[in-house]
């Protein structure tokens, strides 16, 4: 699996499973995903005791609908790349630069390719952030077994 920068459209910030579910339900999903990965990052294959659950979303740019693709287990280094904007904002410049180095290493990119990929992700982020009417595709939760298992009696 390729490591990608996934800049979440501004109107979709804080619209995720972790926020929708009660903490104990999210913790069950997170634990299940991490255990299934057998302590290995699903992107870079690094062995890691502190894997994090990451929600992968697909965005329908025409209808402004976000759909859950899956939840995967990732190491903190990959998670910092995935949420590169948040990494810089929350953790600072040093963490941002470390994330860029990890991105280069995992994908075997040079500086030019990293810059191109970040510019593409940033342009897509700006385009998607122009729309404020994003909604969830609840069927995507069902496809992932989330709705039936975790939303009932939530």
Predicted structure pTM score: 0.88
Answer whether residue 154 is part of any domain. no
pLDDT, residue 20, reads: 83
Which pLDDT value is given to residue 154? 42
Domain range enclosing 102: 10-148
| pLDDT tens by residue, 32-67 | 999 999 999 999 999 999 999 999 999 999 999 999
- Interval 125-146 mean pLDDT: 84
Q: Structurally, how many domains does the chain consist of?
A: 1
In a domain, 2, yes or no: no
Q: Dihedral angle at the C-alpha atoms of 106, 112, 115, 116, nearest 10 degrees?
A: -100
Contact 144, 70 (CB under 8 A): yes
5 in any annotated domain: no
Do 81 and 148 meet the contact criterion of CB atoms below 8 Å apart? no
Give the span between the Cα atoms of 57 and 6, in whole angstroms. Answer: 9
47 or 141: which leads in pLDDT: 47
Q: Are the C-beta atoms of residues 29 and 62 closer than 8 Å to each other?
A: no
What does the alpha-carbon distance between residue 104 and residue 28 come to, in Å, rounded to a whole number? 33
């Amino acid at each position: 699996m390729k490591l990608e920068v996934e800049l979440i459209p501004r109107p979709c910030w804080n619209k995720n499973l972790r926020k929708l579910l009660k903490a104990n339900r999210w913790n069950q999903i997170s634990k299940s995903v991490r255990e299934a990965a057998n302590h290995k990052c699903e992107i870079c294959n690094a062995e890691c005791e502190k894997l994090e659950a990451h929600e992968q979303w697909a965005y329908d740019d025409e209808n402004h609908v976000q759909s859950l693709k899956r939840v995967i287990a990732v190491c903190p280094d990959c998670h910092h790349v995935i949420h590169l904007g948040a990494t810089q904002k929350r953790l600072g410049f040093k963490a941002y630069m470390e994330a860029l180095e990890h991105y280069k290493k995992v994908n075997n990119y040079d500086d030019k390719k990293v810059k191109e990929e970040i510019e593409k992700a940033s342009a897509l982020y700006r385009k998607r952030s122009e729309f404020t009417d994003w909604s969830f595709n609840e069927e995507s939760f069902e496809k992932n077994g989330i709705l039936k298992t975790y939303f009932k009696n939530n």
